[in-house]
Chain A
Amino acid sequence: MSRIQSCFEQCKASGRTALIPFVTAGDPDRSVTVPVMHSMVDAGADIIELGVPFSDPMADGPTIQRSSERALEENTSIHHVLEMVATFRRENETTPVVLMGYLNPIENMGVEQFATAAEAAGVDGVLTVDMPPEEGAEFEQICETHGLDPIYLLAPTSTAKRIGMITSSARGFIYYVSVKGVTGSQAPDLSEVENKVDSIRQQTDLPVGVGFGIRDAASAAAIGAVADAVVVGSVLVSKMEALGETPDRIPAAIGGILSEMRSALDKV
């Protein structure tokens, strides 16, 4: 059983909504990322999404774009990101790690080489924002050989037909993007999210995580009531940007935001 699958099974058994934080690897510098990962787990994160920086992050809003730029200024490459995961794994063997990014840096490395290295580093899932399943057959096959779950997005614009196609390609969990827009968007309409999550569940037994527009404990709890997991990114990345001059304060500050979300989720 994959780490992602057993994580969701444990959550389900204990009635827990999974909390999935996102940070960009290498932001604001490469030494911060692994301590932040550990502090997120300590604060109640169930799965970690680690952003692989890319020069042209088309699907991201200004907050995550800038984090990508900062990470690239530090020359953070996909090789560095894999090293960070390997370092994290030395102390944590259970928390799943999903890499989130764009296809080109992976293709540049070579999909097979990437998957081999990712497996060795202890990566559990890969979400390539700009690769829909239509283009993903070979990628999925290579991922499967190396025990990596291909994670796919669904959106408010996804038709029932696409939901069917994507849920049959996806492994691990489904990431439902709750609003039309880029990361860091405004809060989604809760009843619309609920309806869409219901229609996704009609077509798959995979857990459904919901992200985009979750900014604080209250919005996390509200989304948590209708989803198996909440994904939170821009609000953490904003905090890291604000503390850019004092990076040693970042792990505790990120842990603080997540602890509040964790307790709010646990009250639902």
Chain B
Amino acid sequence: MSNRWTDQPDSKGHFGVYGGIFASETLMAPLEELSEAYTRYMKDEDFLRELDEDLQHYVGRPSPLYHAQRWSDHLGGAQIWLKREDLNHTGAHKVNNTIGQALLAQRMGKSRIIAETGAGQHGVATATVAARLGLECVVYMGEVDVERQKLNVYRMKLLGAKVVPVSSGSKTLKDALNEAMRDWVTNVDDTFYIIGTVAGPHPYPMLVRDFQTIIGREAREQIQQQAGKLPDALVACVGGGSNAIGLFHPFLVDEQIKIYGVEAAGLGLDTDKHAATLNAGKPGVLHGNRTYIIEDENGQIIETHSISAGLDYPGVGPEHSWLKDRGRAEYVAIDDQEALQGFHDLTRIEGILPALESSHALAYITKLAPTMSKDQIIIVNLSGRGDKDIHTVADIEGVEV
């Protein structure tokens, strides 16, 4: 029996009114080819076995579910459990998806991989699997992001990827995505486009989600084993929303569990410098799907802002738009300063350096946990580690590294 929370999307990629395929005609046949290959290989035992082995031995799964006891005591409310995606190979959840898509690319006989990246985590995760499978790799990255994520740019180069800085538009993630689409449409015969988040035209939002639900499936088992019960709340940061949907999806059926997606409020929701699409945007069409977007009064996409490059995106995965409208998940926002505080709190109290993206989720925990009782449980997705952000944090705080 399908469940109303888990039977999305429909065969055309719709999550309610969201999702779908809004792409130029040249890409329609390749997208259909991808859908067919995906449907076929997700039932193929060899494929699933290889994916499973890679996740175990190459990525290092399952990732631990860690009880942050000292921090929980410190906040004096609910027990906080961290899903440690930061401990994955390459340091974030992104690799769960790139492994899956790269194996798919290989099965489909594509010799060239392209990707877009914001913070660089998805670019690194893509370059990593491309290196391992011996596939050519080109990563598109906005010029602004190239500048603020130098370490990841160098990592990608070391891994043999070509990093192409994108100078059009706002020179960030959305423009990198446009450029990757242009590459794909031009080199569609031999090229596989590994999209890094649960956005883009169908089947990407579904496919990326399915590869990321390993997070929630593990967490569901782990929390019952380690704490003896299901959690009361889930928290994850949302840019495009892949780490969030990966954690949320296997828990959607448990309607008593509260779900919070945390967006980037940047300099504040009342300014025009934020990236809180679900909090402050409205439905529109961008990057191949219908979803909430941030636009001006004429339907032009607006440049967003967040301290964290990985959340700096004017769209969001269509399934999140659907979950918001249906009231199954609540989307809140955390500003740059609060996120920085979250970064410091976890580092000082638990000895774990979180990514600035994940720090948004952590900052929301500091608001949420004290309102809950000590026998309640929150699982927060610690989606990535913060080494890449040390220069950003030091710059803001006037420290020379």
Contacts and interface: CB of A to CB of B under 8 A. Distances in A.
Interface of A: 54-62, 65-66, 69, 72, 77-79, 102-109, 129-132, 134-135, 152-159, 162, 166, 177, 180-182, 185
A58 B20 CA distance: 17
Nearest to A175: B25
Contacts of B295: 104, 108
B185 A132 contact: no
A162 B29 contact: yes
A160 to B, nearest CB: 11
Contacts of B185: 59, 180-182
Contacts of B187: 180
Contact of B22 (A135, A153, A158): A135
B286 A56 contact: yes
Given A104-B285, A104-B286, A132-B28, A157 B188 contact: yes
B25 A181 contact: no
Contact of A155 (B12, B21, B26, B178): B26
Contact of B299 (A59, A108, A155, A162): A108
A120 to B, nearest CB: 19
B22 A130 contact: yes
A107 B301 CA distance: 13
Given A54-B300, A105-B299, 7 more contacts: A55-B300, A130-B24, A132-B21, A132-B25, A154-B25, A155-B24, A185-B186
B24 A129 contact: yes
Contacts of B20: 134-135
B348 interface: no
A157 B284 contact: no
Contact of A107 (B188, B288, B299, B300): B299
B284 A104 contact: yes
A177 B25 contact: yes
Contacts of A134: 12, 20-21
B189 interface: yes
B26 A58 contact: no
Contacts of A57: 178
Contacts of B284: 104, 107-108
24 contacts: A55-B300, A56-B178, A56-B287, A58-B182, A59-B181, A60-B182, A61-B182, A77-B298, A78-B298, A78-B299, A79-B298, A108-B284, A108-B298, A108-B299, A130-B22, A130-B23, A130-B285, A153-B24, A153-B26, A155-B28, A156-B26, A157-B27, A157-B28, A158-B28
A107 B29 contact: no
Interface residues of B, number: 36
B60 interface: no
B343 to A, nearest CB: 31
A155 B26 CA distance: 5
B39 interface: no
B188 A180 contact: yes
Contacts of A62: 168
B287 A58 contact: yes
Nearest to B14: A135
A245 to B, nearest CB: 22
A66 to B, nearest CB: 8
B285 A103 contact: yes
Lowest 8 A-B CB distances belong to which pairs? A108-B299, A105-B299, A155-B26, A181-B186, A77-B298, A153-B25, A59-B24, A55-B300
B51 to A, nearest CB: 28
Nearest to A153: B25
Contacts of B288: 58, 130
A152 B299 CA distance: 22
A239 to B, nearest CB: 21
A109 B168 CA distance: 25
Contacts of A59: 24, 26, 181-182, 185
Interface in B1-51: 12, 20-30
A153 B26 CA distance: 9
B362 to A, nearest CB: 31
